[in-house]
Structure 1
Amino acid sequence: MVTVFSTKRLRSLGFAHKDIVKALQCCLQRVRRGQFVLTWSCDQQAHAVLQDVHSASSTSYPQVFGDIRDASENLKSLIRSYADDRLPDAVFSHVSAALLHGLDPPFPAVDKCEMIRPGTRRSSDTLHIRDRHLPPSDVGSIGGLPVTTLLRTLVDIAREYDPEFSVPLLSDALRRRLVTKAALRTALPPAHRGCRTAALAISLADANHESAAESITAVKFYRFDITGMIPQVETCDAAGNLLGRNDFRHEKYGLIVECHGVGKYFMGRNSPDEASKKNHERHMKLLNAGFRIVNLVWADLFRPHEFIKIKAELDTLAKNELNQHGK
């Protein structure tokens, strides 16, 4: 986690209002009203006490990536700002809990700290508290902070968020063997709001998905009624020579879909998809072997065009096969 200072704490360390304003131009960043995060190790003598507190706390500075991952870093700082400023019995939940458990959201879906507290429903610019029943077995602790268990966290996210967001988290947890599909289904409360959406997300999640892009692609396959796409398949030529491992390949037709998820780190920068360049030689071997390849970059996952093309391609292949059998 990161080092967060309240205005009261800064005052106790000798910072007047003008000193706080100066620090905000240097190594402090405002998280929310009255809460500030230390962002880097400056050499200003006036800020030495802040660096000393940071060193003693064994915390880290917020990471800066310059892409959509920064949203998660900002949310981590916001979560930390509520560590000592939460209502009694309030428990960090949903995306906040996922971050505390070390999961990596596929894209920014919320910019508020999320908690559960029975009998309390509250929403502000920085905090969302849900009024939910929370049995003791669903509560754990991470770094001294009360947090919903990983299983409860994943089920809550699957109920509250679209599969495009939840399936990558579920697949990641399955791949790391942190949970099982059986446990997820058992933890899903019957006849509750969002359970149908959660059940769908659990069914689409797959431990074979190696990236968030692959998980989102699997969701889009469902959305566009594309069936038969098998994840992480080794593809060989007619002689049995291995050509490579593909993100998705149709179980019957020679159609391959490759997901270059690294593109999500360059959205808005107009940068080339380096993954596509590196895979060019392998793709040429696949093409020469008679396979059809669809390359998806991160932005394609949020546009219908490519998936409409994939669906049309598979429909054409199926129709051609039917016509051949009919002759």
Structure 2
Amino acid sequence: MVSVFRSKELHNLGFTEAGIQGALSCCLRRIRRGHFVLYSPCTTTEHKPLHLLHDATATDYPRQYGDIRDNSEWLKVLIRSYADELQSGAVFSHVSAALIHGLAPPFPATESAEVIRPGMHRAKKTLRTRDRALNSEELAEIGDLPVTTIARTLLDLASDYPLEVSVPYISEALRRGLTSCESLRDSIRTGTRGCRQAVQAINLASPAHESSAEALCAVKFFRFNITGMVPQINAYDLSGKWIARNDFQHDKHPLIVEVHGVGKYYLNAAGPDQASSANHERHMKLLNAGYRVFNLVWADLFRTSEFARIRAALAEFD
């Protein structure tokens, strides 16, 4: 939770318009009209009232990573700014609900907070309201935030967002044991908008996907009609000695696809250099054992060329 202030609250703390502008060049950030967040610590005397309130309520400053994760962190701030202003019957949904449930998005899919409110449909720059029916079993509360349940959240994402967005969310939820494919399939409302896409999203998702990148790669295999790629399969050399567990391996042909995110290198306890060296050694062992290996980085997941090469390589085996 972060410290959100409205304009009136800032004025009550003694801030003039000029004072607010000064804070905006220091530790305060504007979220949307009339709403501000305390963004970072500072030692400016005039801003001390903000930080005293921040400390008294034991809230956090927004996390800053310096990469695409910052978009999601800012969306969390936007969601918090609406927490006390939701209209009766409204609950956070879709990407907003997924973030509140603690799921990590594969990439920024929206810049708006999202809610469901029966009888209301409206799209504003910072808040999208969908008119949907909800029953009591589909409602939850996390902290002081009303949200759709994890199952309803995932099904809404699967119905309304592309597979590239929904499959990583579903895979993470499966991996963490928050739901199951069976229960999700049973909860799909047949005949409703997006129900077929939701079925496809569940079919592509897997708890074996260890990252959003791997789940996104599975979607790209589907998009490029690449079949037979099984996640998390052990590879062995010609003598039967274990070499490695691979992100994806074909069920019939000696073809492997590895998806390399920054975590494989920069979150490795031994450091990026040793992690890179170990990966090279592993790669050579796989090649020597007769495997065709494709190493993909995050950007490759959005390029046609790499998946065209994989498809062509598989065709050579047939």
CA distance in 2, matches of 1:63, 1:137: 33
| Change in CA separation of 1:8 and 1:86 when aligned onto 2, cut-off 3 Å | same
Shift of 1:278: 4.6
Gaps of 5+ in 2: 267-271
| Change in CA separation of 1:195 and 1:154 when aligned onto 2, cut-off 3 Å | same
Letter in 2 for 1:167: V
Give me the TM-score of the superposition, normalised by structure 2.
0.95
SS at match of 1:311: helix
| 1:47 paired residue number | 47
CA distance in 1, matches of 2:146, 2:283: 48
CA distance in 1, matches of 2:256, 2:281: 15
Q: Does 1:105 align with 2:109?
A: no
Shift of 1:261: 2.5
Letter in 2 for 1:45: T
Shift of 1:289: 1.2
1:262-281 alpha-carbon deviations (Å, 9 max, x no partner): 28999xxxxx9996655111
| 2:269 paired residue number | none
| 1:13 paired residue number | 13
| 1:60 paired residue number | 60
Aligned-residue CA RMSD (Å): 1.8
CA distance in 1, matches of 2:276, 2:162: 28
**Conserved? CA contact 1:167–1:216, under 8 Å:** yes
| 2:224 paired residue number | 224
| 2:169 paired residue number | 169
CA distance in 2, matches of 1:102, 1:246: 27
Letter in 1 for 2:79: I
| Change in CA separation of 1:274 and 1:294 when aligned onto 2, cut-off 3 Å | farther
CA distance in 2, matches of 1:304, 1:15: 53
| 1:201 paired residue number | 201
| Change in CA separation of 1:275 and 1:35 when aligned onto 2, cut-off 3 Å | farther
Shift of 1:145: 1.1
Shift of 1:240: 1.4
CA distance in 1, matches of 2:165, 2:211: 12
| 2:279 paired residue number | 279
Shift of 1:260: 0.8
CA distance in 2, matches of 1:195, 1:276: 43
| 1:29 paired residue number | 29
SS at match of 1:240: coil
| 2:139 paired residue number | 139
**Conserved? CA contact 2:264–2:275, under 8 Å:** no
1:71-109 alpha-carbon deviations (Å, 9 max, x no partner): 001100000000112212211110000000000000001
Letter in 1 for 2:155: V
Q: Does 1:244 align with 2:272?
A: no
CA distance in 1, matches of 2:181, 2:234: 24
Shift of 1:256: 0.5
| 1:80 paired residue number | 80
CA distance in 2, matches of 1:221, 1:150: 26
Shift of 1:258: 0.3
**Conserved? CA contact 1:273–1:297, under 8 Å:** no
SS at match of 2:49: helix
**Conserved? CA contact 1:112–1:128, under 8 Å:** yes
| 2:306 paired residue number | 306
Bigger drift between 230-239 and 107-116 goes to: 230-239
CA distance in 2, matches of 1:77, 1:202: 30
**Conserved? CA contact 1:67–1:265, under 8 Å:** no
CA distance in 2, matches of 1:161, 1:262: 26
CA distance in 2, matches of 1:165, 1:265: 24
